[in-house]
Structure 1
Amino acid sequence: MKENRLWKLFISTFTLSAFTFGGGFVIVSLYKKKFVEELNWLAEDEMLDISAIAQSSPGPIPVNASVILGYRIHGILGSILAILGTIIPPFVIISLISIFYKEFKNSHIISIALQVMRAGVAAVILDVVVNLGKNVIKTKNVLYIIVMIAAFIGTYFFKLSAMYIIFFCIAIGLITVFLNYRKEKSNGTSMDSVH
């Protein structure tokens, strides 16, 4: 059973990585469909946390996500298999493309195929944005909704760098945790004084 689950983890990450174009946002969405909706190995909240960590950590989003996802599903061995499943397909594909780069570069057919793929990738990224936005709205947390809107306005209208948005969100998260901690501590001491 354990070996079957590990094999399924490797094959799932390998297949998703091999047939996904458009980068990290696309593959994270497909991870959600596979591991949350189809296999039920993760809760939706866990996948959202994995997405947030993967996007705000240095390095490629798919690799970051697979490290955490694999570890969550089956510890260090799961992490290693998920990473291998994620990096082998692009490594092989990029190696082959580099060998035949001149032929690919001048091919009219390849050029048209890439343009069509871009349109498909845009649709998948839009799907990711809508799903993540829906999940934020579902929380009914006013702060999260305001941060989401502010991040959109900052990037779309003011062309702020993603790094500024990430640091801003980290700061808001830390302040929220600190305020919640202080509130719980003061509630705890007031409850103790009653007893």
Structure 2
Amino acid sequence: MKNDNSNIKTLFLTFLKIGVFTFGGGYAMIALLETEFCVRKKWLDKKEFLDMTAISESTPGPTAVNSATYIGYKIGGVLGAIAATVGVCIPSFFIIYIISLFFDKFLSLKVVYAGFRGIQVGVIYLILTAGLRMLKALDNTLLDKIIMLGV
């Protein structure tokens, strides 16, 4: 993949979109990342995606940020890593900042409380879906089965 401005812009906008529409953190984001980068853009194959997920989870820091940095670097080098990481972080920063200004009043609204309860169900579904996809993509070896049992 060439390191040009269109790829950098695409990385930033894609991760910005994923950051805006993902609730539940990095694990919930995995299913969206797979769809976007393996299915739609075909920038990663399934094995590369599984490797990225393993590396993102095993290195220090949030999985979402690690994933964005990994994919960004793979697609666009250092500038791609910066663009993807900034893109995925911006929505969370602004949402948390706004919520912090009105936190007590915000949580006392019954509609907001009910909305967060509904989001929890969606997050569980996203995490389960991502886990099942990854399970299907694993090689059917004894070592893989032992690792899955351990997890």
TM-score bin, normalised by smaller chain = over 0.9
Q: In the TM superposition, what whole-angstrom CA distance separates every residue of 1:60-103 from its partner, at most 9, and x where no partner exists?
A: 11001111110001100000000010111100000000011121
Unmatched tracts of structure 2, length 5 or more: none
Percent identity between matched residues is 33
Unmatched tracts of structure 1, length 5 or more: 152-195
Quote how far apart the aligned CAs of 1:44 are.
Answer: 1.1
| Partner Cα separation in structure 2 for residue 141 and residue 71 of structure 1 | 31
| Partner Cα separation in structure 1 for residue 150 and residue 97 of structure 2 | 41
How many residues align? The count is 149
| Partner Cα separation in structure 2 for residue 25 and residue 98 of structure 1 | 24
Residue 58 (1) aligns with residue 60 (2): yes
Moved over 2 A (4+): none
Q: Which has the larger radius of gyration?
A: 1
Residue 94 (1) aligns with residue 96 (2): yes
Alignment correspondent of 2:76: 74
> Which AA in structure 1 matches 2:113?
S
1:91-170 residue pairs with structure 2 within 5 A? Answer: 91-136=93-138, 139-151=139-151
Quote how far apart the aligned CAs of 1:29 are.
Answer: 1.9
Question: What is the TM-score of this pair, normalised by structure 2?
Answer: 0.94
Quote how far apart the aligned CAs of 1:140 are.
Answer: 2.3
Question: What is the TM-score of this pair, normalised by structure 1?
Answer: 0.74
Q: In the TM superposition, what whole-angstrom CA distance separates every residue of 1:27-82 from its partner, at most 9, and x where no partner exists?
A: 12211110111100111111111111111111111001111110001100000000
| Partner Cα separation in structure 2 for residue 75 and residue 56 of structure 1 | 21
> Which AA in structure 1 matches 2:70?
I
SS across alignment from 1:58 = coil
> Which AA in structure 2 matches 1:118?
Q
How large is the RMSD of aligned CA atoms in angstroms? Answer: 1.1
Quote how far apart the aligned CAs of 1:129 are.
Answer: 1.2
| Partner Cα separation in structure 2 for residue 85 and residue 29 of structure 1 | 18
